[in-house]
Amino acid sequence: MSSISPFPSPCRNPKPSFPQIRLPNKVNKLIKSHCNPRFRTIESVSKPDSIPVIHTSSNSNSSPRIPMSSSSSAFDSTTKNSKRVCLFYCAETKPLAERVAAQSDSIELRTITWRTFEDGFPNLFISNAQGIRGQHVAFLASFSSPGVIFEQLSVIYALPKLFVSSFTLVLPFFPTGTSERMEEEGDVATAFTLARILSNIPNSRGGPTSLVIFDIHALQERFYFGDNILPCFESGIPLLKKRLQQLPDSDNISIAFPDDGAWKRFHKQLQHFPTIVCAKVREGDQRIVRLKEGEPEGRHVVIVDDLVQSGGTLLECQKVLAKHGAAKISAYVTHGIFPNKSWERFQHDNEGSPENGLTYFWITDSCPLTVKEVKNKPPFEVLSLAGSIAAALQI
């Protein structure tokens, strides 16, 4: 007597067979095995959420389709990976903030009312404060003078406490960077003081504040910040490299560093260019720049440093390079501070007299007040940090 299977196959040829799958009681549809062995379909519906329907094929030319269940939100990979950011700004950084927002649809500008009481102290108001709850928030600051730091710090300390998901402070130029050491008893290292103030920004829901700074003056200053803040150190050098590639004489460029400090900061980012290093030597009360190594003759030499104030060192470096036969001389600094309009000391060379002027003087928009003054004035050309800031906000 032949045995009868309790589960007869609906097909004449039961091969190939598939293992029996036990599903939970909440699943109201069983596995349906089809006669064609090339395909296998699993369909199930659960309550209250449905399980995605997965279709697989043995055909290598067809890719699997994974439809989303009705309870899942539909979004593409671009939207999924993009972080929505509410960007606040001070009056000085408004043009830069607008350029940053233009880089990405994920960055939305928000406003602050900058008012003062009759005694001159700040009377500030953050618009739609409840509307930023649970949002990623950033503030674009400019500490161009001690007079504007206090009002911005008041806002910087307030924003993380408005129940935001995260808070990022973008301070392109760290202004006290040149006052980082004590040469004699009584000197005050104000760089350390500002770092301590920023290190005590309140935490947001997401944790410590992220601090974005471009080309901080001294490498050791990154260790001045405490554990309650997360410094992110960026550089404007990639903007310079991109601009140099656009020049007609891009294959004849050498990079000159006015001193060993500039070489330490930037030589690794510019190591594929021929390098020239100068040195500052004290003679009495004067600092004289001399050529230390490298060959400028016949080259378009670009002097690179992190910042410029009076410009005396750059001008002396220009004279030395011209004396040694440089065909053209240009300059780049991330932070063009130029107190008392010292930018007026730099003239355009009119394409051919490097001893009298510069072909280009590139700066970034990290110092907004300077950008207003040198706009459309050769040899100055502004390389905007907007794209770099927008990218940093997505970290």
CATH number at residue 289: 3.40.50.2020
Residue 372 counted as domain residue: no
Q: How far is CA 343 from CA 131, 356, 394, in A?
A: 43, 15, 34
Q: What is the pLDDT of residue 68?
A: 33
Give the domain range for residue 44: 1-68
> pLDDT band for position 81 (50/70/90)?
low
Does the pLDDT value for residue 162 go beyond 80? yes
Q: Is 167 exposed, middle or buried (0-12, 13-18, 19+ CB in 10 A)?
A: buried
pLDDT of 188 strictly over 60: yes
Q: Is residue 11 domain-resident?
A: yes
Residues 157 and 104 in one domain: yes
3-state SS, residue 64:
coil
Burial of 16 (0-12, 13-18, 19+ CB in 10 A): exposed
Average the pLDDT over each of 74-83, 288-297, 310-319, 344-353 and give the range with the smallest value: 74-83
Measured CA to CA, the distance from residue 259 to residue 264 in angstroms comes to: 9
Same domain, 275 and 173: no
One domain for residues 94 and 220: yes
Considering the entire predicted model, what is its pTM? 0.78
Say if CB 324 and CB 132 are below 8 A apart: no
Q: What is the pLDDT of residue 238?
A: 98
Most confident of 32-36, 176-180, 224-228, 385-389: 385-389
Q: What is the pLDDT of residue 149?
A: 96
> Among residues 68, 98, 119, which one ends one of the domains?
68
Q: Which two tokens stand for residue 327?
A: 């065909």
Provide CB contacts within 8 A for 379, sequence distance 6+. Answer: 330, 346, 347, 348, 349, 357, 358, 359, 360, 361
Residue 380 domain flag: no
Q: Provide the domain count of the chain.
A: 3
Same domain, 349 and 223: no
Q: Does the residue 384 lie in any domain?
A: no
**At which of 15, 34, 68 does a domain end?**
68
Q: What percent of the chain has pLDDT over 70?
A: 78
CB 320 within 8 A of CB 287: no
Res. 180 pLDDT band, cuts 50 70 90: low
With left for phi above 0 and alpha for psi between -120 and 50, is residue 65 left, alpha or beta?
Answer: beta
Q: For tokens 């720049």, what's the residue?
A: 289
Nearest CA-CA partner of 255 in 247, 264, 263: 263
Looking at the fold, whether 335 and 253 belong to one and the same domain comes out as yes
- Mean pLDDT, the chain, rounded, equals 83
Domain boundary among 45, 68, 91: 68
Which among 8-17, 25-34, 57-66, 291-300 has the top mean pLDDT? 291-300
Cα 357 to chain centroid, rounded: 32
Neighbours of 2 (CB within 10 A): 3
Neighbour count for residue 181 (Cβ, 10 Å): 11
Q: Which of 103-112, 244-253, 284-293, 327-336 has the lowest mean pLDDT?
A: 284-293
Could you give the CA distance from residue 230 to residue 240 in angstroms, rounded to a whole number? 26
Q: What is the pLDDT of residues 59-69, one digit of tens each?
A: 333 333 333 33
Side-chain half-sphere exposure of 107, counting CA atoms within 13 A: 25
Mean pLDDT of 266-273: 96
Position 334 scores a pLDDT of: 98
CB atoms within 10 A of CB 225: 18
Question: Mean pLDDT lowest for which of 9-23, 114-128, 280-294?
Answer: 9-23
Q: Flag whether pLDDT at 377 surpasses 50.
A: yes
Distance (Å, whole) CA 328 – CA 214: 28
- Judge whether 18 lies within some domain: yes
Q: Are residues 3 and 107 in the same domain?
A: no
Report the DSSP beta bridge partners of residue 210: 168, 230
In 3D space, the residue among 185, 226, 227, 230 whose CA is nearest the CA of residue 209 turns out to be 230
Residues 241 and 278 in one domain: yes
* Euclidean distance between CA atoms 174 and 366, whole angstroms: 10
Residue 349 lies in a domain: yes
Q: Domain check: are 177 and 152 in the same one?
A: yes
Q: What mean pLDDT is predicted for residues 97-115?
A: 97
Mean pLDDT, residues 339-363 taken together: 93
* 339 has a pLDDT exceeding 70: yes
Both tokens assigned to 266: 């930037």
279 & 335 share domain: yes
Residue 228 lies in a domain: yes
Average pLDDT over residues 229-248: 97
Say what the pLDDT of residue 212 is: 98
